[in-house]
Amino acid sequence: MSIPSSPQAASVESVAWGKTAAGEEVKLFTLRNANGMEAKITNWGGYIVSLKVADKKGQFADVVLGFDSLEDYLAKNPFFGCITGRYANRIGGAKFKIDGVEHHVTANSGKNHIHGGKLGFDKKLWNAKEITDGVELSYTSADGEEGFPGELKCTVSYTLTQDNGLRIDYKATTNKPTVVNLTNHAYFNLSGEGSGDILGHELTIPTDQITATDDDLITTGEIVSIKGTPLDFTTPHAIGERIGADYKPLVQGIGYDHNYVLAGSGMKLAATAKDPASGRVMTVRTTEPGVQLYTGNHLKEVNGKGGHVYQKRHGFCLETQHYPDSPNKPAFPSVILRPGETFQSTTIYQFSAE
């Protein structure tokens, strides 16, 4: 099945891509714009399976880490390009209060909660329909799923723009007060997946503030200045330039694993990454108040696409989000969603070459 394309619209095609253990059919959607940029999205977990963009010579490469088959995505994997929720990142103590009522969610990172629990949104089959320029995925999370209150109805749309942007739009509604924090967990390598580490990539993040964390990477509630430190990317720096510095936040994260506090409201610049070797540039814009930089510090011997083996720091993530542990930090931007309200968020990963 496919949606006809106009000169301005991206083409959309879908194929059967296998079945879950429960026998549910999974689809793989291919989005392609007039410039030859291509994204492959599956409705199992909303994974970005492939993202092919051109370098400065016009050569295309797949710039996201992942797997060749559905079976590998169904097995244990490090969140390669999935929809992450109901609550992306960490919730300290795997509990929080709303209106004085305490809720306990799955503790799947020691005593803490991370990325939606044991069976988060990355492990769900989403309903899918083709839309102009892309695909819309929808999933209803039951009241009490992973301990979260309220039935949460979610839609996530992936669209490919004619100026080489992969746009992700998130929406959610609830029938009880709950918390929600949705993101995508793509690991990028602008030289092409399987090409080695990303330490030579140059990164700019337009803020000199992060949310401070403890040794378990749970936010303390403080927003601190990182001006002039190895975490400061307000001017371009290679990711590997200072990653091994004897600096407490880097030691805690075993590299970069930090939430940067973005200034302003509405759509804003979150980060720019450039691979000097290929000339590929990725610009990230978002309506979210934060972006988590993660440098693949825990990747080890992962058998990925095309026989490639992914190791430590072979990919990096820029996860647009609300701040970690916001349900327990009243001073942070609120993640509480109430009946009658709609959670809405947009992030665009835009590609060019120079």
225's enclosing H/E stretch is strand 219-225
Tokens read off for 320: 């647009």
CA–CA separation, 279 and 354 (whole Å): 5
Q: Phi first, then psi: give them for residue 249, nearest 5 degrees.
A: -60, -35
Tokens read off for 96: 């929080």
- Residue tagged active-site, from 185, 201, 308, 314: 185
CA–CA separation, 245 and 352 (whole Å): 31
Note if 319 is an active site residue: yes
Whether a cis peptide bond, with omega within 30° of 0, leads into 242 is no
In the DSSP assignment, the letter for residue 44 is B
**Which of 95, 68, 302, 270 lies closest to 179 in space, CA to CA?**
95
Count Cβ atoms below 10 Å from residue 190 Cβ, excluding itself: 28
CA–CA separation, 27 and 73 (whole Å): 13
Q: Which amino acid is at 218?
A: I
Note if 113 is an active site residue: no
CA distances from 174 to 149, 151, 234, 314 (A): 9, 5, 38, 38
- Residue tagged active-site, from 145, 146, 193, 319: 319
**Which of 214, 254, 217, 247 lies closest to 230 in space, CA to CA?**
247
List the alpha helices (DSSP H) in the chain.
Answer: 70-74, 248-253
Catalytic residues: 185, 319
